[in-house]
Amino acid sequence: MKVLVVGNGGREHALVWKISQSPLVKEIYCTLGNAGIDRIAKKVNISPTEVEALADFALKEGIDFTVVGPEAPLVEGIADAFERRGLKIFGPSKEASRLEGSKAFAKKFMERHGIPTAEYEVFEDPDLAEKYVREKGTPIVVKADGLAGGKGSVVCNTEEEAIRTIHRFMREGVFGESGRRVVIEEFLEGEEASYIVMVNGESYVPLPTSQDHKRLLDGDRGPNTGGMGAYSPTPVIDPETEGRIREEIVERTLKGLKEEGIFYRGFLYVGLMITEEGPKVLEFNVRLGDPEAQPILMRIKNDFLEAMLEFYEGKKVSIQEDERWALDVVIASEGYPESPKKGVEIKGIEEAEREEEVVIFHAGTTIREGKVVTNGGRVLNVCAYGRTLKEAKERAYRAVSKIRFEGMHFRKDIGDKAFKYLG
What's the chain look like in SS3?
A: CEEEEECCCHHHHHHHHHHCCCCCCCEEEEECCCCCHHHCCEEECCCCCCHHHHHHHHHHHCCCEEEECCHHHHHHCHHHHHHHCCCCEECCCCCCCHHHHCHHHHHHHHHHCCCCECCEEEECCHHHHHHHHHHHCCCEEEEECCCCCCCCEEEECCHHHHHHHHHHHHHHCCCHHHHCCEEEEECCCCEEEEEEEEEECCEEEECCCEEECCEEECCCEEEECCCCEEEECCCCCCHHHHHHHHHHHHHHHHHHHHHCCCCCEEEEEEEEEEECCEEEEEEEECCCCCCCHHHHHHHECCCHHHHHHHHHCCCCCCCCECCCEEEEEEEECCCCCCCCCCCCECECHHHHHCCCCEEEEECCEEEECCEEEECCCEEEEEEEEECCHHHHHHHHHHHHCCCECCCCECCCCCCHHHHHHHC
pLDDT higher than 80, residue 324: yes
- Same-domain status, 146 and 238: no
- Percent pLDDT > 70 in the chain is 100
Please report the pLDDT score of residue 147 as a whole number: 95
| Residue 109 domain-assigned (yes or no) | no
What's the CATH code of the domain at 252? 3.30.470.20
Strand order in the sheet with 358-362: 211-212, 229-232, 325-332, 378-386, 358-362
> What is the per-residue pLDDT across 194-248, written as a single tens digit (0 to 9) for each?
999 999 999 999 999 999 999 999 999 999 899 999 999 999 999 999 999 999 9
Please confirm whether the linkage preceding 337 is cis (ω < 30° from 0). Answer: yes
- Same-domain status, 279 and 224: yes
| Residue 99 domain-assigned (yes or no) | no
| Residue 179 domain-assigned (yes or no) | yes
> What is the per-residue pLDDT across 267-279, written as a single tens digit (0 to 9) for each?
999 999 999 999 9
Inter-helix orientation angle 10-19/304-312, to 10°: 90
Please report the pLDDT score of residue 78 as a whole number: 98
Q: Which of 312, 336, 354 marks a domain boundary?
A: 312
| Residue 102 domain-assigned (yes or no) | no
- Same-domain status, 199 and 303: yes
Please report the pLDDT score of residue 190 as a whole number: 95
| Residue 105 domain-assigned (yes or no) | no
Please report the pLDDT score of residue 114 as a whole number: 98
- Same-domain status, 203 and 173: no
| Residue 356 domain-assigned (yes or no) | yes
- Same-domain status, 286 and 212: yes
Q: Which of 165, 186, 207 marks a domain boundary?
A: 186
**Mean predicted lDDT score pLDDT of the chain:** 97
Please report the pLDDT score of residue 149 as a whole number: 84
Confidence band, pLDDT 50/70/90 cuts, at residue 66: very high
What's the CATH code of the domain at 371? 3.90.600.10
Q: Which of 140, 165, 186 marks a domain boundary?
A: 186
- Same-domain status, 293 and 372: no
- The mean pLDDT value for 128-152 works out to 95
**Partners of 231 in beta bridges:** 211, 327
Inter-helix orientation angle 126-136/159-166, to 10°: 160
Q: pTM for the full model? A: 0.97
- The mean pLDDT value for 171-179 works out to 95
- Same-domain status, 15 and 86: yes
- Same-domain status, 410 and 356: yes
Say if residues 340 and 216 touch (Cβ distance below 8 Å): no
- Same-domain status, 178 and 158: yes
Q: Which amino acid is at 379?
A: V
Number of compact structural domains in the chain: 4
Please report the pLDDT score of residue 423 as a whole number: 75
Confidence band, pLDDT 50/70/90 cuts, at residue 419: very high
Say if residues 385 and 324 touch (Cβ distance below 8 Å): yes
pLDDT higher than 90, residue 151: no
- Same-domain status, 146 and 200: no
For 165, the domain range is 119-186
What's the CATH code of the domain at 148? 3.30.1490.20
pLDDT higher than 90, residue 150: no
- The mean pLDDT value for 401-406 works out to 98
Please report the pLDDT score of residue 128 as a whole number: 98
| Residue 319 domain-assigned (yes or no) | no
What's the CATH code of the domain at 45? 3.40.50.20
| Residue 110 domain-assigned (yes or no) | no
- Same-domain status, 298 and 339: no
Neighbours of 422 (CB within 10 A): 10
- Same-domain status, 128 and 221: no
